[in-house]
Structure 1
Amino acid sequence: MSIGLIWFGNDLRTADQTMMWHASQEVDQLICVFCDSSLADTSPLSAYATPSTSRKVFLRQGLNDLSKSLSELGQTLFVSSLPAHHVITTLLNELPITHVYRNLHPGWYEQKALDDLKEAFSDVQFRLFSGLQLFSPSHTTFIGNQFPDTFSKFRKHMERLEVSPPAPEINRLPAIAPFVLPNISPWKVTQEQEAPLFNGGELAALTQLSDYFATPLPSTYKETRNAFDGWENSTKFSAWLAQGSISPKQIKACLDVYERDHGANDSTYWIFFELLWRDYFHGYGLHYGRQLFARQGIRGQGAQGSFYPERFKKWCQGNTPYPIVNACMRQLNQTGYMSNRGRQLVASCLIYDLGIDWRYGAAYFESQLLDYDVASNWGNWQYIAGVGADPRGGRHFNLDKQARTYDPEQR
């Protein structure tokens, strides 16, 4: 009798789940568990990264959808608010589990938990998959087994590779392995009020995916993506990608169909380009590990700023001397979302105009962004701060010029 354990994280879906497909073929019984890492210390500045109410609601919506989908496949979603390492250790100690299925996570703390478990339970098969990325992380190290120090090198190599199609559909999962353990219980579907913009879960994610590619918007994406406002100006996939309610491969498959039917151009390529950026930062996080959170970044030098509590508080509240920054921060606090250009500007302001250590900004984004992704968030902040992958050594934006270009009405 073989018993499998699917360890969910930022992959709250049943479609395009290679790890689930393998579990359906390889084990006789199965347990599906999610550990709520929002209660764990996942960064050095965790006191500033406490998830907002909006982030918690978005997560619960995602768990609701996953629970319903698993039920239709004959399974139950178990959830614990304890740290993942503790939960998985308990399950492996108390039950004769033979296989653990997990999508590779780019965070250092998540990787350490996994590595410690693999070392402690060497008799268990740990089956690892790349369900969070376009490409397997094994494809992202090259040139003497080194991770590329710039995105350009990465892109030139990776864009020539073929993206594998989404995983086969799963019609049934193995039966539930019965167990009763404290602090690990079936998820009880909650009633959540719908948000005006983003609602978590696989159903909402697939709806946005279908709706977006049913329009001509992909053909103008590159020209509109930096706009501060407007639902249609960018894909808006990022929150569901971060939650794992959709996968990069699902997006790429829809993009391929769109280009086949409507033609490819710079804008449709740019959607793929942004997915490559995401893969780059995932590989970056896996390669550099704890340096993702280091003040000096991956370069070991060049960090600016200190911590000024009052300045930082005003930045968080959108109460700085810069109207464009204030508008972006208010949008973030109210919706859990901010445009790509807005993120660059408020980060530049915090680091170069307010003189604050970039890590405090990264931690605040962690608390607020619905699309928070550990590698993309901390990697992008390092990029702006000049301690990461930017070959130009950081990006200091002229806020007055940017306001004239992107927010002439000072909204």
Structure 2
Amino acid sequence: MGKKTIGVYWFTNDLRLDDNPLLAQAAQEVDQLICLYCLPSYSEYLKRFTSESHYGSARERFWQQSVASLDQALNEKGQRLVVSQAHPFSALAHLMSNDNISALYCDDFVAHDERLIVQHLSCYFPLVKICQRSQRTLFQQFELPFTLDALPASFTQFRKMVEGQSIALPHCAITNLPAPAKHSLETVTLPEVSVSSRDDFVGGEHFAHAHMMCYFSTSFASRYKQTRNELDGKENSTKFSPWLAVGSLSPSQIMHALNQYEHRNGSNESTYWIFFELLWREYFQWYARKFGVSLFQRKGVQNKPPLTTFYPQRFKQWKMGNTEYPLVNACMKQLNQTGYMSNRGRQLVASCLIYELGIDWRYGAAYMESQLVDYDVGSNWGNWQYIAGVGASRSARRFDQSKQAALYDPQREFVLRWNGNSSVATSDNVDMVDWPKRA
């Protein structure tokens, strides 16, 4: 009998067994499998830019539910999730050094840090086969009608080039997995997390599919374009983004469900707009992949530093929802309590931070990263660059706060619901010592 081969599947933001061809590939190629998940840590970068020390409670609860759900699904297939507090490079390097690993399976990441981890592992462990696949995009890179270097400079150009492309059907659910392998990695136990009626979103593949089926069982999709800019209301937008962000749902699964809905109910401008929004998300996945570390730099991908700086007191008031703009306050309080904010709200609070308060856009992007249950690196940082005029949009995307409030909250219902009427006057106290170094 030959020596058994051992593989590692590194779960990140692909926390699902359905429509996971890379995991199916691993199941076919190795005799034993280690399913690894590394707990996220609050980076020094985030600490610097948010003045916070940990993720928001809603975001943390959602990913804990998502990971626990994955572990349960693996247990039902005779597997288990190996959870480590170590940095992913340290955890994977330990396994490769000590546990006779023959192959690593992981997402073909768009994010710079994860790509760097894989590059370093391939250098240090050249005998370990590394298998990657884009797990969170509609298309694989080879399916794009252009090279990554030639990614269109605007979303509109991108959309026109790809919207006629065929999209692969979701892959079948995995029925069998190799047995778990013994290993020497120090592990931790997942925190117990229950489901509460107070949860706006519940993490996990089961709840992701339940929500998608429920949404497409109604007529909401047929009027999505008319309601998508509403500031609140579960029925006004699809609310798929939290499960997309952690990978409990794939964009291909949503497209398949959308196509089935259109087959049953007919297509219109609203159903097309759901596809449109998936393409918007898709664009920023490849945007992040192309531009790498420039995604996080003040001057953006255009190498054009904006005329903003940092005011600690203003930033604190923006975070807490205590500015002179009631609608912005209401949006920020909704974010802090629920971990979620509407697309329109995100544009308004970003515009306020940059253009009304004069603050470097990176502080807002980092705070959103710390709080959003649907945080996605490309969508978050790419859209903040877009609003700041240093990314996919060459001009500033400044919103008239009074006009927006009159359009989207004319009766002030949203402001009242989230207590957006601030009792704190805007302070312009600026301490030069508090200004960060520009990068």
Structure-to-structure mapping, 1:140-151, within 5 angstroms: 140=144, 142=146, 145-151=149-155
Candidates 16, 32, 36, aligned match of 1:33: 36
Which digits, 9 at most, give the CA deviation of each residue in 1:307-349, with x for residues without a partner? Answer: 0000000011111111111111111111111000100011000
Alignment of 1:305-316 (within 5 A): 305-316=308-319
Contact conserved, 1:293 with 1:359, CA < 8 A, in 2?
Answer: yes
Change (3 A) 1:216 1:3: same
Residue of structure 1 aligned with 2:84, choices 61, 71, 80: 80
> Which stretch shows the higher mean deviation, 105-114 or 37-46?
37-46
Structure 1 length normalisation: TM-score? Answer: 0.96
Partner of residue 69, structure 1 = 73
Aligned equivalent of 1:116: 120
Equivalent residue, structure 2, for 1:404: 406
Residue of 272, 276, 279 corresponding to 2:279: 276
After superposition, the C-alpha distances for 1:366-395 in whole angstroms (9 at most, x for unaligned) are 11110001111000000000000014x120
Mapped partners of 1:211, 1:327: distance in 2: 28
- Match of 2:201? 198
Q: Return closer, same or farther for 1:187/1:325 CA change in 2, 3 Å cut-off.
A: closer
Instruction: After TM superposition, give the deviation of residue 195 of structure 1 in Å.
Output: 3.5
Change in CA separation of 1:42 and 1:213 when aligned onto 2, cut-off 3 Å: farther
Which amino acid is the alignment partner of residue 280 of structure 1?
Answer: Y
1:319 partner SS: coil
The one-letter amino acid paired with 1:407 is D
- Pick the structure with greater CA Rg: 2
1:95-106 aligned within 5 A:
95-106=99-110
CA distance in 1 between partners of 2:156 and 2:199 (Å)? 37
Preserved contact between residue 312 and residue 356 of structure 1 (Cα < 8 Å): yes
Q: Quick one: distance in 1 between partners of 2:250 and 2:137?
A: 7
C-alpha distance 265-316 of structure 1, shift in aligned 2 (>3 A): same
Q: Which residue of 2 aligns with 1:52?
A: 56
SS at match of 1:234: coil
**Structure 1 residue runs of 4+, over 6 Å off?**
none
Q: Which amino acid aligns with 2:264?
A: D
SS of equivalent residue, structure 1 residue 30: strand
Q: 2 CA distance for matches of 1:288 and 1:205?
A: 30
Aligned residues of 2:145 and 2:161 also touching (Cα < 8 A): no
Q: Which amino acid aligns with 1:269?
A: Y
Deviations 1:93-118 (A, max 9, x none): 11111111111222111111111112
1:379 is the counterpart of 2:393: no
**Structure 2 contact 56–371 (Cα < 8 Å) conserved:** yes
Name the residue aligned to 1:178.
Answer: 182
**SS of the residue 2:150 aligns to:** coil
Cα separation, 2, equivalents of 1:232 and 1:173? 37
Equivalent residue number for residue 165 of structure 1: 169
Per-residue deviation, 1:350: 0.4
Looking at structure 1, the residues matched to 115 and 51 of structure 2 have their Cα atoms a distance apart, in angstroms, of 22
Q: CA deviation at 1:179?
A: 2.0
Contact 1:14 1:69 in 2 (8 A): yes
The change in CA–CA distance for 1:269 and 1:17 in structure 2 (over 3 A counts) is same
Task: Determine helix, strand or coil for the equivalent of 1:88.
Answer: helix
> C-alpha offsets along residues 21-58 of structure 1, whole Å, 9 cap, x if unaligned?
10111111101000112344566846546311111111
Q: More deviation in 244-253 or 142-151?
A: 142-151
Secondary structure of the equivalent of 2:61?
A: helix
Q: Distance in 2 between matches of 1:267 and 1:199?
A: 26
TM-superposed CA distance for 1:401, in Å, is: 0.5
Which one-letter code corresponds to 2:271 in the other structure? T
Structure 2 unaligned spans of 5+: 416-439
Q: Percent identity?
A: 47
Find the counterpart in structure 2 of residue 259 from structure 1.
262
Q: Which residue of 1 aligns with 2:230?
A: 227
Amino acid corresponding to residue 296 of structure 2 in structure 1: F
Would you say 1:22 and 2:25 are equivalent positions? Answer: yes
1:247 aligns with 2:241: no
Is 1:132 paired with 2:136?
yes
Residues in 1 aligned to 2:43 and 2:92: alpha-carbon distance in whole angstroms: 15
The residue that corresponds to 1:359 in the other structure is: 362
User: Equivalent residue of 1:232, what SS?
Assistant: coil
Deviation at 1:191, TM superposition (A): 3.6
How many corresponding residue pairs? 409
Aligned-residue RMSD, C-alpha:
1.7
| Conservation of the 8 A alpha-carbon contact between 1:132 and 1:244 | yes
CA distance in 1, matches of 2:309, 2:286: 29
| CA distance in 2: counterparts of 1:136 and 1:170, whole angstroms | 20
Counterpart CA distance in 2 for 1:45 and 1:151 is 31
